[in-house]
Amino acid sequence: LSLCRLSLCFGLSCNVSASCSQLWLSLNFLLTLILNVTQRGNAYTNLTITEWSAPVVWHGTYNESVLENYYQNHKITVGLTVFAVGRYLDFYLKRFLLSADKFFMIDQKVIIYVMVDNFSKMPWIPLNPLHTFKVFEIKRERRWQDISMMRMKTIGEHIVNHIQYEVDFLFCMDVDQIFEREYGLETLGESVAQIHSYWYQATPMMVPYERNQLSQAYIPMGKGDFYYHAAVFGGTPIQVLNIARECTKGIMNDKKNNIEAMWHDESHLNKYFFLHKPTKILSPEYCWDFRLKRNSDIRTVKLSWDIKDYDLLRVTA
């Protein structure tokens, strides 16, 4: 079937003048949706489609060969931003980059945008021929909370200045993580959110949304869909720019009123996805904490949390 015919089957418009990236997004979404729908009956109990028809990606709910064959003929570049400031640079960056080079978007062009506060500490790592680094030195904030929240502002600035012209898709990830297995094309989408591994079985009443009604991140009790993890989000550069701008706006408005959301940028990210539903959601397999007890839901782990010692890491002086 042509893309236009596939689109019509799912009630989507097909505009022949649409850009290549828009067509790729449509096909990627349709392929994932078809695979999810057809495999829901294969003894798969986890949610694979949201109420707004966004696919929830679990291992086994996609066909790698279909995606690989398509993207073999439609070349793309995928970006990945990562921030390593203070002791995070010392303890985590090298492991993150080594694992990303091994498992992130194998056989695809990748640009990793590394944001550090000390350029001289950037580790030297031999890369896959398709992978490149771009390293930027950024200002170090006084408090770790501000480091976390100002990340959104920095991401937005870099997208406007250059990233939007360099990549077709962009992921933003925390540095204190390790890629464990192939993290591939099935994750691509227009607007991608990551379900938090600690809260994926919880109802909206139970999750730690921001409950201060004066905060821009406020979500009313009983409302919401999933609790999303700020350690991973992505999409097209323009959609990630929208996420970064709206979160930055909420953070800055709160700061003017001496308000700080409980989970900082993550609270604002959850508010964004509450208002603007993601077009693709990644299951906890794509960001799992091994300190949690594995269960039958988690068939494989693509990306894991690294060991954290916040008392040591969050010293900013």
Q: How far is CA 126 from CA 119, 133, 245, in A?
A: 17, 10, 34
Which residue in 281, 260, 183, 265 sits closest to 231, CA to CA? 265
**Tokens found for residue 255:** 């700061």
**Binding site: which residues?**
83-85, 88, 174-176, 196, 266, 289
Q: Is residue 25 part of a domain?
A: no
Q: Which CATH number do you get for residue 71?
A: 3.90.550.10
Q: Is 4 helix (H, G, I), strand (E, B) or coil?
A: helix
**Binding site for Mn(2+): which residues?**
174, 176
Q: Is residue 148 part of a domain?
A: yes
Tell me how many domains the chain contains.
1
Q: Nearest-5° angle of CA 183, CA 170, CA 291?
A: 45
The single-letter code of the amino acid at 285 is: E
Alpha-helical runs (H) found in 73-134: 87-91, 93-103
Tell whether the model's pLDDT for residue 239 goes beyond 50: yes
**Tokens found for residue 245:** 């701008």
For the entire predicted model, the pTM comes to: 0.85
Q: How far apart are CA 316 and CA 44, in angstroms?
A: 45
Angle between the 64-72 and 20-39 helix axes, to the nearest 10 degrees?
170
What pLDDT was estimated at residue 122? 94
Query: What sign does the dihedral 166-168-172-176 (CA atoms) show?
Result: negative
Tell whether the model's pLDDT for residue 35 goes beyond 70: no
What average pLDDT is seen over the chain?
Answer: 86
Q: Is residue 91 part of a domain?
A: yes
Query: What sign does the dihedral 287-92-103-162 (CA atoms) show?
Result: positive
Structural domain for 108, as ranges: 45-313
pLDDT tens-digit readout, 258-275: 999 999 999 999 999 999
Q: How far apart are CA 247 and CA 268, in angstroms?
A: 5
Which residue reads 């695809």 in tokens? 108
pLDDT tens-digit readout, 39-62: 443 444 589 999 999 999 999 899
Q: How far apart are CA 175 and CA 139, in angstroms?
A: 17
pLDDT tens-digit readout, 3-31: 444 443 333 334 444 455 555 555 565 55
Tell whether the model's pLDDT for residue 130 goes beyond 70: yes
Which residue in 187, 134, 117, 158 sits closest to 245, CA to CA? 158
pLDDT tens-digit readout, 213-222: 999 999 999 9
Q: Is residue 167 part of a domain?
A: yes
Q: How far apart are CA 255 and CA 246, in angstroms?
A: 14
As a three-state string, the secondary structure of 18-32 is CCHHHHHHHHHHHHH
Q: Is residue 124 part of a domain?
A: yes
What pLDDT was estimated at residue 6? 43
Which residue reads 């250059």 in tokens? 162
Q: Is residue 241 part of a domain?
A: yes
Q: Nearest-5° angle of CA 297, CA 285, CA 135?
A: 175
Q: How far apart are CA 128 and CA 130, in angstroms?
A: 5
What pLDDT was estimated at residue 314? 58
End-to-end CA distance of the chain: 60
Name the band, by pLDDT with cuts 50, 70 and 90, for residue 294. Answer: confident
Name the band, by pLDDT with cuts 50, 70 and 90, for residue 80. Answer: very high
Residue 49 CB burial class (10 angstroms; 0-12, 13-18, ≥19): middle
Q: Is residue 83 part of a domain?
A: yes
Q: Is 133 helix (H, G, I), strand (E, B) or coil?
A: strand
Q: Is residue 23 part of a domain?
A: no
Tell whether the model's pLDDT for residue 141 goes beyond 80: no
What pLDDT was estimated at residue 307? 86
Q: Which residues are catalytic?
A: 266
Tell whether the model's pLDDT for residue 78 goes beyond 60: yes
